[in-house]
C-alpha cells in the first residue's frame, strides 16, 4: 500500500512508528506495523478495488481526521471517509463534507443496500407508491415497479358540473347548462348557469278574472279563489299588502286553505324587516309560539318556494335547517315551513300542527274597465260587479280639460298658456301659482296646510329660509299623492352620469335645472333646506309616473346621502317592481333603502336582488343613483331597472327618468 507523507506521519503517531517525511511529496513504503493497521478493515484492507480513493481503514477515518466529515482540508482530494458506499465528499470551505449514498436508484419500490465492499443491491418490496399520475390513487409496487391503482373519482356533488380527471392536471369541474331541478306541477325545471343551479320560475296561473287570486297547489295545479270585497284592509297594512295572523291549531295545508278563504295566501317573507314584522304580528295574535308561513319544498324536494307566484328572497333558517329529511308529505318529508318564536324558520312534516298562521294578500282589488266611463265596479265573490257611477277623469291638474269618451276612456287636454288655474295661470300644462315676493310659503306642505281646499298640482314659488340668503324658487308641488304636500327636491336623468352614486349632485348644496315635473335632471334648494319625514320616489316611463313613499327622518334629503350610511326600508319587492311597467328583480338578497351598497352595486335609493342567498354578487337592482357593474353593463344606466340570471320577470336593461319629493 502507498500513502502520502501527510497520512504517513499521522498513522505513525497512532502506532508508535516514526517515518521520515517525504520531502519530495511522493509516496514511501511504511513499516509492517502500519500494514497491520490496514488489516483492521474486516479483511478488506489492501483491496483497492473496493474504494479506489479509500487509502485509510473505514473504522478509523470515519471518526478521526484526516478525510472524515468535519476534518480540515485544503482540496477535495483531501476528503475521504473510507466508506465504499458513499461518494462525493468535498472541501468547499476548508472542512470535509459528508458523502452521499451511491446505491439510491430513485425507485420507491426497491429497498437499496450497500455491502461492505461497495456492491449495491436493490431488493423489490410491496406497498403503496405514487406513479405520478393525479388521476390514479392507491398505486402499488409490483416487481420493483410502481403500477397504477384505481382511477380517481372526481365528484364535487354539483349537478351543474361535468366532473373529469385530466392526466397531468387532476380533477376538473366543467360548468354545464343541464337541467338541475325537474319540472313540477307548479314550477318549471331549474337550469344550470355558470356552475350554479337556478330554480325554475313558478308556473303562471291566471284565469283571466281580476277578482280572483290565482295560485298553484302541488297536488292539483292551478287554482283560483275570490279576493275580498273592494274596500280598505280591515287588518294590518304593510308593504302594500294586507296581513292577518290567526290563533288556530292547524296543519300547514289547512292553514293555507284558511288563508284562501280570507282572500290571500300563507305569508311570504321578503326581507329582514318583513321577517320581524311577521313575527311581531304572530306574537300579537297568538303569543310567543310557532306560526305557519307560506314556504314549502313539497313541489320540488330540496327547492323551497313561497306559495305566491313571486320567488322568495331573504332566508332565515335556524341552525341545521332546512333538514334534508325526505319522503312523501305524510311519511317523514319535512316539506313545510314554520317560523319559531325567535323568528327563525324550520321545515316540518305535513302531519305537524302549529297554533298560529299568518296570511297576506294584495289590498282589495277593483275591476274598473280601463276604457269605460263609469266607475264603482268592484269584486264580489270572485265576480266583477258592473260600474254605475260616471267617471270624473279628474287628474288633479287644473291646467287640463278632463273628459271621458266611451270606448276610449279618459283624456286630458292641455289648456292654453295663460289660462287661469285658480291660484295662478297655466304654463305648458302646469299651474304656476301667483305669489307675492317676500311672502312665499316655506314648502308645498305649508301651502297645502294654509289652503281651505286642496290646491292643484303644479309649480309654486317657495322660500324655505324666508329672508335668508337663498332666493325664492319655483318647484313642483304634488298636492294629491299620498296625502299631498310633497315638494320636488331632485330630478334624475337615467342616462346622465352626474347622477351616479358618487356624483356631487347627491351631496352638494348647488342648485341647477328647473322645477317642472319632466324628464330633465335637476337639484333644487329644497334638497338641502327642507327637513324630511318621508320621501316620495317616482319613476317615469312613456310620460307615466309611478310612485313609492318611504318613511325616513332627516334634517334634509342631502343629509341622508352625505353620511353614506345605509338606512333600510321595508316596502317589499312587489312595491319596488311596481315603479315600472314591467319591473323585474332576482329573488334573493332583497336589500333595500337609502345608500344601499354591495360588492357590485351602489344605489342612493333602491333595492338589490341576487340569484343566490346572499348579497355578495347581486345581478339585479331597481332604483336611483346607481354605480353598478352587473349584466355586462358598467355604470349605466344610473336610474332604472337592471336584471339578469333568473330575475322573476326576465332580463332588464331599463333607463328611466326619476323624481324625489320630500315632505
563-601 per-position pLDDT tens digit: 999 999 999 888 999 899 888 898 788 899 999 999 999
Tell me the Cα Rg of the chain.
43
Maximum average pLDDT range among 1-10, 158-167, 372-381, 504-513: 504-513
- Per-residue pLDDT, 341: 95
Of the pLDDT bands very low, low, confident and very high (cuts 50, 70, 90), residue 441 is: very high
Q: Which of 425-429, 459-463, 626-630 has the lowest mean pLDDT?
A: 425-429
What is the rounded distance in angstroms from the CA atom of residue 252 to the CA atom of residue 268?
Answer: 14
> What residues have CB less than 8 Å from 441, skipping those under 6 apart?
447, 450, 460, 462, 463
Residues 625 and 603 sit within 8 Å (Cβ to Cβ): yes
Residues 229 and 380 sit within 8 Å (Cβ to Cβ): yes
Of 305, 314, 299, 372, the closest CA to residue 337 belongs to 305
Q: What is the DSSP letter of 78?
A: G
Name 380's bridge partners: 383
pLDDT digits 0-9 by tens, 160-197:
999 999 988 999 999 999 998 888 888 888 889 888 88
Residues 386 and 417 sit within 8 Å (Cβ to Cβ): no
The DSSP H or E segment spanning 60 is helix 58-61
Q: Is it the case that residue 4 has pLDDT exceeding 70?
A: no
Rounded to the nearest 5°, which phi and psi values hold at 253? Answer: -65, -45
Name 291's bridge partners: 339
Q: Which of 79-83, 444-448, 517-521 has the lowest mean pLDDT?
A: 79-83
Grid cell in block for residue 516: 317642472
What is the rounded distance in angstroms from the CA atom of residue 464 to the CA atom of residue 418?
Answer: 27
Grid cell in block for residue 411: 283624456
Q: What percent of the chain has pLDDT over 90?
A: 43
Maximum average pLDDT range among 96-105, 258-267, 386-395, 652-661: 652-661
The DSSP H or E segment spanning 379 is strand 378-380
Q: Is it the case that residue 62 has pLDDT exceeding 70?
A: no
Distance of CA 227 to the CA centre of its chain: 36
Grid cell in block for residue 232: 280598505
Helix (H, G, I), strand (E, B) or coil at 655: strand
- 543 half-sphere exposure, CB direction, 13 A CA radius: 1
Separation in Å, CA 337 to CA 54, 252, 533, 612: 85, 8, 37, 19
Over range 237-263, report the average pLDDT: 88
Other beta carbons within 10 angstroms of residue 203's beta carbon come to 16
More confident residue, 576 or 299: 576
What is the rounded distance in angstroms from the CA atom of residue 209 to the CA atom of residue 212?
Answer: 6
Of 113, 134, 132, the closest CA to residue 122 belongs to 113
Q: Is it the case that residue 426 has pLDDT exceeding 50?
A: yes
What is the rounded distance in angstroms from the CA atom of residue 653 to the CA atom of residue 644?
Answer: 9
For strands 458-462 and 430-433, give the pairing. parallel
Place of cell 317560523: 339
Grid cell in block for residue 529: 333646506
Q: CA-based angle 289:235:268, to the nearest 5?
A: 60
pLDDT digits 0-9 by tens, 368-424:
655 567 777 777 777 787 777 776 777 777 888 888 877 677 788 999 998 988 778
Grid cell in block for residue 260: 284562501
> What residues have CB less than 8 Å from 278, skipping those under 6 apart?
243, 267, 269, 291, 293, 339, 358
**Whole-model pTM?**
0.52
Rounded to the nearest 5°, which phi and psi values hold at 202? Answer: -65, 140
- Per-residue pLDDT, 497: 93
- Share in percent of the chain as helix, strand, coil (round to 5): 15, 35, 50
Q: Is it the case that residue 96 has pLDDT exceeding 50?
A: yes
More confident residue, 526 or 206: 526
- Per-residue pLDDT, 391: 67
Rounded to the nearest 5°, which phi and psi values hold at 9? Answer: -65, -40
- Per-residue pLDDT, 447: 93
Average pLDDT, the chain: 82
Q: Is it the case that residue 260 has pLDDT exceeding 80?
A: yes
pLDDT digits 0-9 by tens, 539-552:
998 878 999 999 99
Separation in Å, CA 592 to CA 135, 284, 345, 548: 48, 26, 22, 13
Amino acid at each position: 500500500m502507498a500513502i502520502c507523507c501527510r497520512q504517513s506521519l499521522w498513522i505513525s503517531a497512532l502506532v508508535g512508528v516514526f517515518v521520515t517525511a517525504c520531502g519530495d511529496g511522493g509516496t514511501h513504503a511504511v513499516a509492517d506495523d502500519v500494514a497491520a493497521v490496514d488489516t483492521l478493515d474486516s479483511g478488506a484492507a489492501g483491496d483497492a478495488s473496493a474504494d479506489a480513493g479509500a487509502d485509510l481503514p473505514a473504522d478509523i477515518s470515519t471518526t478521526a481526521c484526516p478525510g472524515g466529515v468535519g476534518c480540515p482540508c485544503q482540496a477535495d482530494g483531501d476528503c475521504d471517509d473510507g466508506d465504499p458506499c458513499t461518494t462525493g465528499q468535498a472541501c468547499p470551505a476548508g472542512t470535509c463534507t459528508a458523502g452521499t449514498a451511491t446505491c439510491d436508484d430513485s425507485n420507491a419500490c426497491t429497498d437499496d443496500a450497500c455491502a461492505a465492499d461497495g456492491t449495491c443491491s436493490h431488493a423489490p418490496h410491496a406497498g403503496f407508491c405514487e406513479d405520478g399520475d393525479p388521476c390514479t390513487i392507491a398505486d402499488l409496487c409490483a416487481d420493483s415497479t410502481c403500477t397504477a391503482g384505481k382511477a380517481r373519482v372526481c365528484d364535487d356533488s354539483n349537478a351543474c358540473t361535468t366532473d373529469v380527471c385530466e392526466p397531468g392536471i387532476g380533477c376538473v369541474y366543467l360548468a354545464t347548462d343541464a337541467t338541475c331541478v325537474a319540472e313540477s306541477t307548479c314550477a318549471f325545471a331549474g337550469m344550470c348557469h355558470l356552475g350554479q343551479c337556478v330554480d325554475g320560475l313558478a308556473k303562471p296561473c291566471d284565469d283571466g278574472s281580476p277578482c280572483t287570486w290565482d295560485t298553484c297547489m302541488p297536488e292539483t295545479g292551478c287554482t283560483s279563489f275570490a279576493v275580498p270585497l273592494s274596500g280598505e284592509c280591515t287588518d294590518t297594512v304593510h308593504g302594500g299588502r294586507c296581513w292577518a295572523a290567526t290563533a288556530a291549531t292547524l296543519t300547514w295545508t289547512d292553514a293555507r286553505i284558511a288563508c284562501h278563504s280570507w282572500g290571500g295566501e300563507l305569508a311570504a317573507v321578503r326581507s329582514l324587516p318583513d321577517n320581524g314584522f311577521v313575527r311581531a304580528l304572530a306574537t300579537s295574535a297568538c303569543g310567543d309560539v310557532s306560526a305557519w308561513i307560506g314556504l314549502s319544498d313539497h313541489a320540488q324536494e330540496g327547492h323551497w318556494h313561497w306559495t305566491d307566484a313571486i320567488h322568495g328572497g331573504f332566508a332565515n333558517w335556524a341552525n341545521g335547517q332546512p333538514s334534508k329529511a325526505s319522503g312523501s308529505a305524510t311519511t317523514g318529508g319535512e316539506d313545510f315551513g314554520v317560523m319559531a318564536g325567535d323568528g327563525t324558520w324550520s321545515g316540518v312534516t305535513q302531519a305537524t300542527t302549529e297554533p298560529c298562521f299568518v296570511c297576506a294578500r294584495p289590498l282589495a282589488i277593483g275591476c274598473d274597465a280601463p276604457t269605460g266611463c263609469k266607475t264603482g265596479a268592484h269584486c264580489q265573490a270572485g265576480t266583477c260587479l258592473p260600474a254605475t257611477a260616471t267617471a270624473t277623469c279628474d287628474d288633479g291638474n287644473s291646467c287640463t280639460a278632463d273628459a271621458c269618451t266611451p270606448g276610449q276612456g279618459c283624456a286630458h287636454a292641455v289648456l292654453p298658456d295663460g289660462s287661469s288655474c285658480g291660484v295662478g295661470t297655466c304654463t305648458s300644462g302646469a299651474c304656476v301659482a301667483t305669489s307675492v315676493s317676500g311672502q312665499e310659503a316655506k314648502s308645498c306642505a305649508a301651502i297645502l296646510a294654509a289652503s281651505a281646499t286642496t290646491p292643484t298640482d303644479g309649480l309654486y314659488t317657495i322660500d324655505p329660509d324666508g329672508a335668508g340668503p337663498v332666493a325664492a324658487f319655483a318647484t313642483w308641488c304634488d298636492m294629491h299623492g299620498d296625502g299631498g304636500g310633497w315638494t320636488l327636491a331632485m330630478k334624475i336623468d337615467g342616462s346622465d352620469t352626474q347622477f351616479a352614486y358618487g356624483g356631487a349632485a347627491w351631496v352638494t348644496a348647488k342648485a341647477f335645472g328647473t322645477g317642472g315635473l319632466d324628464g330633465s335632471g335637476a337639484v333644487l334648494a329644497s334638497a338641502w333646506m327642507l327637513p324630511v319625514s318621508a320621501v316620495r320616489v317616482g319613476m317615469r316611463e312613456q310620460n307615466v309616473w309611478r310612485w313609492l313613499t318611504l318613511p325616513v327622518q332627516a334634517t334634509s334629503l342631502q343629509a341622508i346621502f352625505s353620511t353614506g350610511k345605509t338606512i333600510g326600508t321595508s316596502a317589499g319587492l312587489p312595491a319596488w317592481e311596481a315603479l315600472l311597467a314591467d319591473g323585474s328583480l332576482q329573488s334573493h338578497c332583497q336589500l333595500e333603502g337609502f345608500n344601499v351598497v354591495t360588492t357590485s352595486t351602489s344605489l342612493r335609493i333602491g333595492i338589490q336582488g341576487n340569484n343566490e342567498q346572499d348579497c355578495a354578487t347581486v345581478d339585479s337592482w331597481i332604483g336611483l343613483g346607481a354605480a353598478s357593474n352587473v349584466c355586462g353593463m358598467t355604470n349605466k344606466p344610473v336610474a332604472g331597472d337592471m336584471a339578469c340570471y333568473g330575475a322573476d320577470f326576465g332580463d332588464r336593461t331599463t333607463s328611466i327618468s326619476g323624481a324625489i319629493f320630500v315632505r
